[in-house]
Structure 1
Amino acid sequence: MHNGQQIGGEYDYVRRNSNSYNPAFMDIVNSNDLRCNVGATAGSTKTYDVKAGDRIGLKVFNNEDIEHPGPGFFYMSKAPGSVANYDGSGDWFKVWQSGPVGAPNTNEGWGTWRARTMEFNLPKSLPDGEYLLRGEHIGIHENHIECAQIRVTGGGSGTPSPTVKIPGVYKTTDPALTYNFWGSGGAYQMPGPAVWSG
Structure 2
Amino acid sequence: MYFTNSVLALAALAGSVSAHTLMNSVEVNGQDQGEGKSTYIRSPPNNNPVKDLTSPDLACNVNGGKPVSDFVKAAAGDTLAFVWMHNKPDDDIIAESHKGPVITYIAPYTDDAGAEAVWTKIAEDGFDGQQWAVDRLIANKGKAEFKLPQSLKAGKYLVRQEVIGLHEANDAYTDDSARGAQFYPSCVQVEVSGSGDAVPNQDFDFNKGYTYQDPGIVFDIYAKNKTLDYKIPGPDVWSAAAGNAKRSLRIKGRVAGQV
- Which TM class, normalised by the smaller chain length? 0.7 to 0.9
Whether the aligned pair in 1 keeps the contact of 2:78 and 2:148 (CA below 8 Å) is yes
Worse-superposed segment, 51-60 or 39-48: 39-48
Q: Choose from 172, 178, 183 the match for 2:218.
A: 178
1:14 aligns with 2:38: no
Q: Choose from 103, 112, 130 the match for 2:134.
A: 112
Q: Deviations over 1:4-54 (max 9, x none)?
A: 122121412110213x332242x2x11211111123333434112111011
Q: Choose from 38, 51, 60 the match for 1:36.
A: 60
1:127 aligns with 2:153: yes
Q: Deviations over 1:165-192 (max 9, x none)?
A: 2322200221111101121352111110
Using a 3 Å threshold, how does the CA distance of structure 1 residues 117 and 100 change in structure 2: closer, same or farther? same
Q: Choose from 15, 28, 31 the match for 1:2.
A: 28
1:100 aligns with 2:124: no
Whether the aligned pair in 1 keeps the contact of 2:106 and 2:200 (CA below 8 Å) is no
Paired with 2:31 and 2:221, the residues of 1 have a C-alpha distance of: 34
The Cα RMSD (Å) is 1.9
In structure 1, the partner of 2:103 is 73
Whether the aligned pair in 1 keeps the contact of 2:50 and 2:57 (CA below 8 Å) is no
In structure 2, the partner of 1:106 is none
Whether the aligned pair in 2 keeps the contact of 1:136 and 1:143 (CA below 8 Å) is yes
What is the deviation of 1:143? 3.0
If the length of structure 2 is used for normalisation, what is the TM-score?
Answer: 0.66
In structure 2, the partner of 1:87 is 113
Paired with 1:158 and 1:36, the residues of 2 have a C-alpha distance of: 23
Paired with 2:232 and 2:184, the residues of 1 have a C-alpha distance of: 16
In structure 2, the partner of 1:193 is 235
Three-state SS of the structure 1 residue aligned to 2:33 is coil
Whether the aligned pair in 2 keeps the contact of 1:55 and 1:122 (CA below 8 Å) is yes
Whether the aligned pair in 2 keeps the contact of 1:2 and 1:54 (CA below 8 Å) is yes
More relative contact order, 1 or 2 (CA 8 Å, 6+ apart):
1
Structure number with bigger Rg: 2
Aligned length: 186
- Gap regions ≥5 residues in structure 2: 1-26, 168-181, 241-259
Three-state SS of the structure 2 residue aligned to 1:112 is helix
Whether the aligned pair in 1 keeps the contact of 2:57 and 2:113 (CA below 8 Å) is no
Paired with 1:10 and 1:173, the residues of 2 have a C-alpha distance of: 35
Worse-superposed segment, 177-186 or 119-128: 177-186
